[in-house]
Amino acid sequence: VARDDATIQTEFNLPKTLNEALPDDKEKKNNDSRAIVVTECTGTYNMIGCNKAWENLCGYAECEIVGKNSTILQGPDSNFDGLRDAVARLFEGEEQASVVTTNYRKDGSRFKNLLTMGPIRNESGKLTHFVAILKNIGDIKEVKQ
């Protein structure tokens, strides 16, 4: 069943600051049930950190993703146009953008992902990072030929 982001309710708030997204308190960071990753807002949007829920969903440890961009989660079935549009909307000033895409775990398995992204700003209001929350909306089973 195909779903788009208009049909799926998000029941979480996006973090607004870097410390909300990736708290220094490890227990607080790793007990958050939302799968959170933070990226730079320039260049190739390299990831700077994630939490335990993101690690569990995607199969990568935080130390494996720091400095890498999110293409490690993308593949032939990913919604590249939707992802580009969502990022463009954030640069245009939207506070939240969502897209449904197919992501790939470290082990190669795929899942349908409701990706919700937002800006992180510093104290003076300057955009410094993007935060993304991944929500698995369905594992994709491989069809045996």
Give the pLDDT confidence of 92-145 residue by residue, as tens digits: 999 999 999 999 999 999 999 999 999 999 999 999 999 999 999 988 776 555
Strand locations in 1-145, DSSP E? Answer: 35-40, 47-50, 97-104, 110-121, 127-140
pLDDT at residue 8 above 70?
no
| pLDDT bucket at 5, cuts 50 / 70 / 90 | very low
pLDDT, tens digit, for every residue of 104-116? 999 999 999 999 9
Closest by Cα among 35, 31, 40 to 14: 35
pLDDT at residue 66 above 70?
yes
pLDDT, tens digit, for every residue of 30-64? 999 999 999 999 999 999 999 999 999 999 999 99
The Cα 94–Cα 118 span in angstroms is 8
The Cα 48–Cα 52 span in angstroms is 14
